[in-house]
Structures are given as structure tokens and as C-alpha cells.
């Protein structure tokens, strides 16, 4: 072939491939009856759509209820397109509704497909039962006796001009509508009861949809936008056991009910486990014991989708089970509270990804009731479960790419089970059913709560004691060791006593609006915070140092009342019983346990990042707590004691306001080292992500150096630049901060034991009070020498070593201030 002929051939080939019409057609003839539409689509609300008898049906009345087409989008480049769908009226209700297409759904804030699904705005194109067709504000009267039982809607055009044709099954059509536009791009969706603007109600009629088609040179395939059939995975690795959970959408009874876990072994994919999908939670949990934690292992979860015609299509979700990072510092991401307005939190997720965390902790409120832009459904049970799942899937969609390769700890909190505040009292049902959140008990069914527990905690190591609590409610408190850090995960909500047990004031039981001279009434006998079962668990956990150098407690909220204003700067609240500062006696017991092992505390919930050193008998005589910022802050809190004229003692060296030693409403002595208050301007109605930024949203990051025994604590803002950080701009004031592991033993202990030297380094040391028989301290010493300081005087037995390699030294006496004695231990 001559060179000139070859060039012409190549050019023509390129031109032909670029101008070839892309075509996509979706009918549902081969899809089993089910709620989940398919991997190419995402329905909002999830529970209001279903595939039935080969058609897509809307079964709910939420305005602008829609199914987004994910994998075929309108390009921003020049070109032409045509979108069409067939709709049919299935139920006309008391308020006439509408149906049709949403074309060019685009979000100026974020072009990510997840943002387009929930925040995209586009062109409304459809028909109304009030007797007109519409293309945005352009309208055409429908012919008399127009048949809504089957209507074809076609929208076509380019970046400057659109037109729409509507025809019923008898061939009747209104006048063709046209609309000038200035560019169009983004998603196409089918929609039921479209919001048309003005004073018109969107209606509550129900339609079916079929034969959705999209074609043209402006259409591009983006198969990476698919979501499902495996939506995401969560995994943990601890003590030689991998737990992995695959989360699937609501498939149908006639769909495949099994998933498989496969591992890449020397280039071959081998199936190591098959699991049935649990029907309520739509999850499958794999447990692999005797795991080799010294290497990375690729995995994939296989789901074989089966059509009605018997065809089988294998689908795979891939990731890596990472080796245990025992040879380097452990990087830990702490996250909490994700409200819908900042979804999908792209700047935050990108920053977190850049920091390459080894472990993630989502401490609660993975959903809020309004997330997704539509109301929750409390009943019946099946509807409440689906309502929760639809909102929870937003969380998995936002963070799934991080979780696929990163061990993830997740714990539910109050909003996850549709509560403003939760006082679980061991799993009891709320007397009288749903209502105020300032009294005891669970509003939702135990079936729904168990789904929440399963979908968030199924990947965790087995519970310490799996015995169900009241109503047959499941529990998930447990421990895991990773990167030589031992974590205990507890709930400070599920067993907590309701505030009506102690409140004697008017108004909300959980809001103490003024100081009381005698606080003893707040600690009546029988009040609980973490309960007897979790207390027993923690007493066992503090004794277990196998494979661990450091201890960390994870819970929902800070064990202190470190907020003065709630919701707005006008709403001052003296004491919040929903905080972990109440009940004080129970809070003190947990902090004493933490102090014995120099445990650091990581938590969330408050929507206000704080770094606090706890006090028991005096300020700073216990460990440290890091309350991480909210991912996206809806309900703001502030800690502004200085503005209330509260006297401050011992401002930290950085000098920031509202820091120092403050006694809270319940008598807790808190040293507030840092606080991430919102400012005075708290609303940006134009830019969602800037709104999150000014409302003090962000995430926490902690680096545990097991060799140096240091803890580096970062509190990053939503819009931080983690690659080139400026500490004033990118972190909240007071961060970053480094503490020693042993700072968690507290300050002020003056009873000194002899200096103890061991011939082998980094041994576990136990210190027992010989008079009381109680454990005073237990931790792994750093190096070969230690001189313990205790808050109690007396005679003690010190046990050094682990397992059979141990030695006990009895009769060691404390001395005040200094102790020149020395003890040598040889193992």
C-alpha cells in the first residue's frame, strides 16, 4: 500500500471511529424481579424502585425520584445525542404527577458521578397528568384523550438546542417542544413526579419505565462508573485471622444467592470460600484463619449474575489484603459523622488517600436520616431496612476505593439506627415506640438494628461475647491487633442509661441548663455508660499484650462535656448528658482502666474536634482523647468557655483561646489542649464543599510509632492541602501534636517504685498492689529500664515478661518523689 493511501486510510478509520454513534439500550426483560436495578444504574430512593415483569417501576412518592444511568454519559465535547424512554401510568393518585427524563445532570461543584446522582441539575423532559408536556419551562398541551398507559418520550439535540417529541400508543402527539441551551453534559435519568418549579405540587402518581435508549456522538461510555453487584468490601486482619465482608445490593429471590472469595496464588485465582448472602443485610462474611500476615495478597470477590434466560455473567470486585505493618509506624485515619450536603466528600477522600492510611476507623453516624435528599422510612420493618441501606450505600460508594485495600473498623452510633440521641439500656425497645430522643430505648425494630450492626461490623473480629442482649439484639464490641497496636472497640450508647433516670428539670431530659451545687443526684445507683459486659471485656483486654506494644480505646464519643454551644451560637447549653461526661462515676471507671495500660482514646460524634487530657482526682492525671472532626458537619457545636467568662487555668503553650483546664458540668476535670471550633460565618449556600469547610468539617489522622512509642495527632480541615501543609490553614488550631504513649499514664503521680532493669528489652510489666490485690499498671516497657510512678503508695509486686518467661519481684515499696533503689531482672 502506498504511503499516501495508508495515511488516508488511517485518517478515515480514526474519523469513522470518532463519529460512530454510541448506542445504549436498557430493557429489563432478562432481569429478575428485584429492587436493585443493575450495575449500570443507581436509584434514589433505593427502596422506591423495583424491576418487575421486565419493566422498571417507581413504587414511592418522593418528588424527583429517579434512576440514574451511570455508565453512559453526555460528554462536555461537541456532538449530538438522542435519549428516549417509554413510560406508562400505573397508579394515578389524588395529586396528579409526572414522569420522563432528566437530561444532562451536572454538578458545578463536583463532576464525580456520585455527586451528579445526588446533586446534578439538568433539563426536565416529560409529561404531566395535568395535561401538558414539558421541556424545562417550555410546555405543550396534550391532545384530548391522550393515553398515558404507554408514552414514548424522545429528547435530542446538541450543545445549543434541544427538542422533544412525545407520542402515546395511539400515535397522538402534542406540538414538538424546543429549548435553547448553553452546553449540556452529565447523566441521563428517568424520573417520577418531577419537580417542575413554581407552586405546582410534584404529585404522587406512579409510573413504569422501559426501553431507555441513549445514542449519539456526544455519548461516551464510562464503565468505571458501574456500582455493583459487589458494592464494596470491608476487611480486618488480627491475630492471624482475616475477616472480610462483601456488601451487595437488594437482589431478587431468583438471583444468585452466593458469592465466592478468591485469592491470587502464584498467578492463579483459587476459590477459598463460598458464602450465602444474608437476606436482610445483603452481606456475605468470610473468615480465613491461620493467615500469613507477612505478605500482600490479592483477592477478588466473585458474584455470578444470572439472567432470566439462564445466562451467567461473572462479576469481580478486586483488592488487596495487606501485610501486617509490624515493621513501621502505623498510620490511622479517624472519621465520623457524614452528612449528605458534602457528599461525596471528594477533597477529603483525596487527601485521606494521599496520606496512605494503614487502617480506617469510622466511629459512627455513617448515615444521617435526611441523607440522599429524601426522608427515612421507620416502618414497616422491610421498608426501614431498605431505607437504611440506601443511605448507607452512599457511605460505601464514597469510601469504597479506600476500604477495598485498607483494614476498616466501623461502629454504629445513634443516627445509624435513626435516633437523634441513643440511650440503649442494653437493647430495650423504647416504651411507646418512636418519639423523643431524650429517653431510653431503641425506636427501630431489632431486625433493622441487627442489619445496621451486621453491615457495619461484619468484618470485625468475632465479638468478645456474642450473646445477644435484649430483644435478641446483636453486639459487636471486640478487640483487634494490627501493626503491633492493640485496639478495643466498645459502644458508649448501647448500654447507656436514659437521662430521665436522673433529670429533675423541665424540658429535655438530656439538657442540663444550669449549674447545680450538689451533683450527686446525677450518679444514682444503677446508672450505666458502657455496662457490665463491656467492663469485663476491657478488664480482660488490658491484660492481653500478645503482639502489641501500645493500647488504644475506640468508642463513639469523648468521655467529657467539651461543648458549650449546640446548633447555633445563640444556643448555650451548660451540660449535655448525651456527651460521654455523664455518668461521671462510670466515665471515671473506664478512664482508670485506660490509665492502667497507658491507652490513647480515639472517638468522634461531637462534630467538634478536640484534644483533651482527662482528669480524675486532679487535672491531667489520666490519658488523652482525640475527638476527630465530622466528615461533613451539619449540626455544629462550639467550645467557647472564654466567651462565657469561665476562668482558665494553665493555657497551653500555643496560647489559643478556649484551651486550658476547665471543669465541666458534671465535675470532670478536663485539660483542653486544642479545639476546632467553627467560626462565626457558618453557611455558604452556593458552594457545598466550602460550606463543609467553614462548618469545621474534616478528618483525624494518627501515627503510632511503635519503636519510639510516640503518637502523632493531626486534625485536618475538609479543604486541607496535605501534600504541602500549612499548619495555620490546613489543620485546626493546636494541631499537629505529638505525645508519648506513656503520657497516657497521666501526670502528677508521686509514688515512685525502684528503677527496674531487664536483660531483655521491651518486656511486659505488671504492677500489683499487694494490699488490695488490684492491678495498678500493665504495659510494655520501652527498652530495658523503667522506673514506675504510681498514684497510690504501698507495697507492690512487679511481674516482668510474658508467658513462661516471667519473673516476679515482691515487696517493692514506693517512695515519695524519688526512689534511689534499683532492681535487676534476668529472664
Question: Could you please report the per-residue DSSP string of 740-790?
Answer: EGGGGG-S---EEPPEEEESSSS-EEEEEETTT--EEEEEE-SSSEE--EE
Query: How far apart (Å, rounded) are the C-alpha atoms in residues 512 and 527?
Result: 17
Query: How far apart (Å, rounded) are the C-alpha atoms in residues 247 and 224?
Result: 18
Q: Which residues of the chain have pLDDT under 70?
A: 1-21
Residues 515 and 665: beta-carbon distance below 8 Å: yes
Q: Where are the beta strands (DSSP E) in 53-150?
A: 55-58, 65-74, 81-91, 98-106, 121-128, 132-135, 138-141
pLDDT single digits (tens) 86-97: 999 999 988 999
**Which 3 state secondary structure label does DSSP give 302?**
strand
CB atoms within 10 A of CB 807: 13
Query: How far apart (Å, rounded) are the C-alpha atoms in residues 494 and 428?
Result: 9
| Half-sphere exposure for 604 (CA within 13 Å, toward CB) | 31
Question: Could you please report the per-residue DSSP string of 454-515?
Answer: HHHHTTSPPPSS----GGG-----EEEEETTEEEEE--SSTTPPPGGGT--SSS-TTEE-S-
**Which 3 state secondary structure label does DSSP give 279?**
coil
Find all residues with CB under 8 Å of 45, minimum gap 6, and list them: 60, 62, 65, 372, 374, 387, 390
Average pLDDT, the chain: 95
Total-model pTM? 0.95
What per-residue confidence (pLDDT) applies to 526? 93
What per-residue confidence (pLDDT) applies to 11? 34
Query: How far apart (Å, rounded) are the C-alpha atoms in residues 161 and 182?
Result: 8
Residues 155 and 101: beta-carbon distance below 8 Å: yes
- For 89-103, give one letter per residue: b (16+ CB within 10 A) or e: bbeeeeebbbbbbbb
Q: Is 76 left (phi over 0), alpha (psi -120 to 50) or beta?
A: alpha
Alpha carbon separation from 450 to 248, 443, 475, 616 (Å, rounded): 16, 13, 9, 36
CB atoms within 10 A of CB 459: 25
Torsion of CA 196, 202, 203, 209, to 10 degrees: 70
Alpha carbon separation from 631 to 5, 396, 457 (Å, rounded): 59, 14, 20
CB atoms within 10 A of CB 52: 16
| Half-sphere exposure for 645 (CA within 13 Å, toward CB) | 0
Pairing of strands 81-91, 751-752: unpaired
What's the chain's length in residues? Answer: 827
What per-residue confidence (pLDDT) applies to 201? 87
Amino acid at each position: 500500500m502506498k504511503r499516501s493511501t495508508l495515511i488516508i486510510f488511517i485518517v478515515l478509520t480514526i474519523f469513522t471511529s470518532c463519529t460512530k454513534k454510541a448506542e445504549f439500550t436498557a430493557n429489563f426483560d432478562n432481569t429478575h424481579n428485584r429492587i436493585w436495578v443493575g450495575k449500570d444504574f443507581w436509584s434514589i430512593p433505593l427502596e422506591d424502585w423495583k424491576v418487575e415483569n421486565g419493566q422498571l417501576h417507581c413504587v414511592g412518592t418522593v418528588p424527583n425520584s429517579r434512576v440514574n444511568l451511570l455508565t453512559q454519559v453526555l460528554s462536555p465535547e461537541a456532538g449530538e445525542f438522542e435519549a428516549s424512554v417509554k413510560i406508562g401510568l400505573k397508579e394515578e393518585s389524588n395529586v396528579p404527577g409526572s414522569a420522563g427524563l432528566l437530561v444532562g445532570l451536572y454538578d458545578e461543584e463536583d463532576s464525580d458521578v456520585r455527586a451528579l446522582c445526588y446533586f446534578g441539575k439538568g433539563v426536565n423532559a416529560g409529561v404531566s397528568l395535568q395535561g401538558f408536556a414539558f421541556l424545562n419551562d417550555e410546555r405543550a398541551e396534550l391532545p384530548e384523550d391522550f393515553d398515558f398507559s404507554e408514552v414514548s418520550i424522545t429528547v435530542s439535540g446538541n450543545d445549543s438546542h434541544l427538542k422533544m417529541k412525545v407520542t402515546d400508543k395511539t400515535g397522538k402527539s402534542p406540538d414538538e417542544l424546543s429549548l435553547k441551551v448553553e452546553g449540556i453534559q452529565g447523566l441521563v435519568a428517568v424520573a417520577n413526579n418531577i419537580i417542575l418549579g413554581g407552586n405546582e405540587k410534584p404529585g404522587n402518581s406512579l409510573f413504569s419505565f422501559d426501553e431507555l435508549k441513549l445514542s449519539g456522538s456526544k455519548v461516551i461510555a464510562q464503565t468505571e462508573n458501574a456500582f455493583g453487584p459487589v458494592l464494596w468490601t470491608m476487611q480486618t486482619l488480627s491475630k492471624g485471622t482475616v475477616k472480610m465482608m462483601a456488601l451487595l445490593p437488594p437482589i431478587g429471590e431468583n438471583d444468585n444467592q452466593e458469592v465466592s472469595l478468591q485469592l491470587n496464588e502464584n498467578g492463579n485465582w483459587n476459590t477459598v470460600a463460598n458464602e450465602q448472602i444474608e437476606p436482610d443485610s445483603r452481606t456475605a462474611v468470610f473468615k480465613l484463619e491461620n493467615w500469613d500476615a507477612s505478605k500482600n495478597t490479592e483477592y477478588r470477590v466473585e458474584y455470578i449474575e444470572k439472567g432470566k434466560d439462564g445466562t451467567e455473567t461473572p462479576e469481580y470486585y478486586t483488592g488487596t489484603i495487606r501485610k501486617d505493618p509490624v515493621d513501621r509506624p502505623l498510620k490511622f485515619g479517624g472519621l465520623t459523622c457524614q452528612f449528605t450536603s458534602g457528599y461525596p466528600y471528594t477533597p477529603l477522600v483525596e487527601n485521606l488517600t494521599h496520606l496512605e492510611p494503614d487502617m480506617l476507623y469510622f466511629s459512627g453516624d455513617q448515615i444521617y436520616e435526611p441523607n440522599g435528599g429524601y426522608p427515612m422510612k421507620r416502618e414497616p420493618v422491610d421498608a426501614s431496612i431498605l431505607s437504611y441501606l440506601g443511605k448507607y450505600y452512599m457511605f460505601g460508594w464514597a469510601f469504597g476505593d479506600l476500604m477495598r485495600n485498607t483494614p476498616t473498623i466501623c461502629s454504629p452510633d445513634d443516627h445509624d439506627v435513626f435516633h437523634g440521641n441513643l440511650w440503649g439500656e442494653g437493647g430495650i425497645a423504647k416504651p411507646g415506640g418512636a418519639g423523643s430522643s431524650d429517653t431510653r430505648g431503641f425506636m427501630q425494630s431489632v431486625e433493622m438494628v441487627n442489619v445496621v450492626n451486621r453491615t457495619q461490623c461484619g468484618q470485625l473480629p468475632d465479638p468478645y461475647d456474642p450473646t445477644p442482649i435484649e430483644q435478641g439484639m446483636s453486639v459487636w464490641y471486640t478487640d483487634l491487633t494490627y501493626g503491633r497496636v492493640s485496639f478495643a472497640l466498645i459502644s458508649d450508647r448501647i448500654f447507656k442509661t436514659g437521662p430521665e433516670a436522673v433529670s429533675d428539670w423541665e424540658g429535655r431530659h438530656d439538657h442540663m441548663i444550669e449549674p447545680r451545687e450538689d451533683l450527686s443526684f446525677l450518679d444514682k445507683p444503677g446508672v450505666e455508660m458502657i455496662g457490665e459486659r463491656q467492663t469485663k471485656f476491657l478488664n480482660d483486654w488490658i491484660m492481653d499484650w500478645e503482639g502489641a506494644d501500645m493500647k488504644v480505646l475506640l468508642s463513639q464519643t469523648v468521655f467529657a462535656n467539651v461543648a458549650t454551644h449546640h446548633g447555633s451560637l445563640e444556643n448555650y447549653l451548660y451540660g449535655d448528658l448525651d456527651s460521654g461526661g455523664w455518668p461521671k462515676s462510670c466515665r471515671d471507671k473506664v478512664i482508670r482502666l485506660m490509665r492502667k495500660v497507658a491507652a490513647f482514646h480515639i472517638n468522634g460524634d461531637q462534630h467538634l474536634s478536640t484534644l483533651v487530657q482527662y482528669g480524675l482526682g486532679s487535672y491531667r492525671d489520666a490519658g488523652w482523647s482525640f475527638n476527630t472532626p465530622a466528615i461533613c458537619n451539619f449540626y455544629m457545636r462550639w467550645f467557647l468557655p472564654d466567651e462565657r467568662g469561665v476562668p482558665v487555668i494553665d493555657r497551653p503553650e500555643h496560647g489559643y483561646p478556649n484551651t486550658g483546664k476547665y471543669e465541666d458540668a458534671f465535675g470532670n476535670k478536663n485539660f483542653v489542649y486544642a479545639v476546632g471550633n467553627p467560626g462565626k460565618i457558618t453557611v455558604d449556600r452556593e458552594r457545598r464543599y466550602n460550606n463543609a469547610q467553614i462548618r469545621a468539617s474534616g478528618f483525624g489522622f494518627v501515627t503510632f510509632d511503635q519503636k519510639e512509642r510516640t503518637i502523632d495527632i493531626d486534625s485536618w480541615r475538609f479543604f486541607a492541602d496535605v501534600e504541602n501543609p500549612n499548619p495555620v490553614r490546613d489543620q485546626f488550631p493546636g494541631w499537629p501534636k505529638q505525645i508519648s504513649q506513656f503520657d497516657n499514664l497521666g501526670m502528677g503521680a508521686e509514688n515512685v517504685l525502684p528503677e527496674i532493669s531487664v536483660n531483655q528489652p521491651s518486656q511486659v510489666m505488671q504492677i500489683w498492689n499487694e494490699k488490695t490485690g488490684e492491678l495498678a499498671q500493665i504495659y510494655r516497657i520501652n527498652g530495658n529500664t523503667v522506673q514506675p510512678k504510681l498514684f497510690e503508695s504501698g507495697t507492690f509486686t512487679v511481674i516482668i515478661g510474658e508467658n513462661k518467661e516471667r519473673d516476679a519481684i515482691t515487696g517493692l515499696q514506693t517512695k515519695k518523689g524519688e526512689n534511689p533503689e534499683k532492681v535487676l531482672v534476668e529472664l
